[in-house]
């Protein structure tokens, strides 16, 4: 059956209203961080498809812009870490240095390439020493556009018989606006074109910068989530959460702001979840990773930083704290811990 964009939105609503989906709605959602990025090169179709096979409810595409104005999916606009661009002699002269959000970055940037040029590149694993099994898939896939990720979610929803949502992040929107390539209106139009411009659509729009989210509120009805890093705990204080509730539907804190680490172990939960939920805010902490390198000392197993530790303890602590969703590079493990 062929689904138009409008019929996809309608079918999503119908699936969400089904008894099975109503029961699932009580569970925290699992958001595949850049796809199943612990097992496949991030932000590739294969990473997204594996995440969906593992039970993820949402797939996350980070959005940056090309020189000719297309939304493409990369964690950063600097792409030497996730593509083979550095090995492509035809693009050697594109290497440059830029000031992005106050930091000097050297490399190759999406805004210096057309979509057609970016499509000639191939994706690769960003952390090959930590994730050598994923690196075995280097070179197999191209950079997807945002539209291609939406189409993938649509096709997988049809195949799986359940709604697969998209959870796009606007990356460096102030920087792109200054470069004459604003993200907000492009993203809002893409959501409208795909029947996703609704508060009950299977989509969340996230960003670390508050002002672009405030601006997006006037452009789209889609739900908005304010991301918060561990270095900004004041943003998720009682007063900070009240400010977020003025323009967002949820907050996405670093998971350590929900379950802090004390003496190398997991501590008791902070008041963040209770305070946010009292304001009607969803709480979707990021990013739970399974490797020892990313876990507190008490949860590590062995000395190898790439070996998996007791990540289930992190998931279970977050779920017990009452979060309404969680980001993970290993969505299958998040689903398993959710039960």
Whether residue 273 is contained in a domain is answered as yes
**Other residues' Cβ atoms within 10 Å of the Cβ of residue 88:** 15
In this prediction, residue 154 carries a pLDDT of 97
Whether residue 126 is contained in a domain is answered as no
Whether residue 266 is contained in a domain is answered as yes
Question: Which residues in the chain come in under a pLDDT of 50?
Answer: 1-23
In this prediction, residue 26 carries a pLDDT of 76
Whether residue 113 is contained in a domain is answered as no
Whether residue 94 is contained in a domain is answered as no
Residue-wise pLDDT tens digits, 14-35: 444 333 343 355 799 999 999 9
Whether residue 136 is contained in a domain is answered as no
Q: How many CA atoms lie within 13 A of 115 on its CB side?
A: 13
Q: How many domains are contained in the chain?
A: 1
Q: Which residues are catalytic?
A: 33, 75
| Domain containing residue 296: CATH number | 3.20.20.190
Whether residue 247 is contained in a domain is answered as yes
In this prediction, residue 25 carries a pLDDT of 54
Residue-wise pLDDT tens digits, 216-236: 999 999 999 999 999 999 999
Phi-psi region of 139 (alpha: psi -120 to 50; beta: other; left: phi over 0): left
Whether residue 181 is contained in a domain is answered as yes
In this prediction, residue 12 carries a pLDDT of 45
Domain residues for the domain of 58 are 5-76+143-338
What is the spatial distance between Cα 257 and Cα 279, in angstroms, rounded to a whole number? Answer: 17
**Other residues' Cβ atoms within 10 Å of the Cβ of residue 255:** 25
């Amino acid at each position: 059956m062929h689904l138009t964009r409008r019929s996809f939105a309608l079918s999503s609503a119908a699936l969400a209203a089904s008894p099975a989906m109503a029961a699932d709605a009580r569970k925290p959602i699992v958001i595949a961080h850049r796809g199943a990025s612990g097992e496949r090169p991030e932000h590739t179709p294969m990473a997204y498809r594996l995440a969906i096979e593992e039970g993820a409810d949402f797939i996350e595409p980070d959005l940056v812009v090309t020189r000719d104005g297309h939304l493409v999916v990369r964690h950063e606009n600097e792409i030497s870490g996730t593509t083979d661009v550095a090995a492509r002699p035809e693009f050697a002269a594109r290497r440059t240095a830029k000031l992005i959000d106050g930091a000097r970055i050297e490399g190759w940037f999406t805004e210096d390439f057309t979509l057609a040029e970016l499509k000639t590149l191939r994706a690769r694993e960003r952390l090959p020493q930590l994730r050598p099994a994923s690196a075995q898939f280097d070179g197999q896939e191209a950079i997807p556009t945002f539209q291609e990720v939406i189409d993938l979610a649509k096709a997988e929803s049809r195949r799986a018989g359940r709604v697969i949502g998209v959870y796009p992040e606007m990356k460096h929107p102030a920087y792109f606006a200054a470069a004459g390539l604003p993200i907000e209106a492009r993203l809002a139009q893409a959501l409208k074109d795909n029947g996703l411009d609704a508060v009950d659509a299977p989509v969340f729009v996230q960003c670390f910068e508050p002002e672009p989210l405030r601006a997006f509120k006037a452009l789209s009805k889609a739900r908005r989530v304010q991301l918060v890093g561990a270095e900004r705990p004041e943003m998720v204080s009682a007063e900070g959460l009240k400010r977020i509730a003025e323009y967002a539907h949820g907050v996405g804190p670093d998971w350590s702001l929900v379950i802090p680490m004390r003496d190398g172990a997991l501590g008791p939960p902070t008041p963040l979840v209770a305070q946010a939920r009292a304001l009607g805010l969803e709480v979707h902490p990021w990013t739970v990773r399974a490797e020892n390198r990313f876990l507190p000392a008490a949860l590590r197993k062995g000395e190898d930083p790439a070996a998996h530790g007791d990540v289930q303890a992190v998931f279970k602590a977050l779920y017990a704290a009452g979060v309404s969703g969680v980001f993970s590079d290993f969505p299958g493990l998040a689903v398993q811990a959710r039960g």
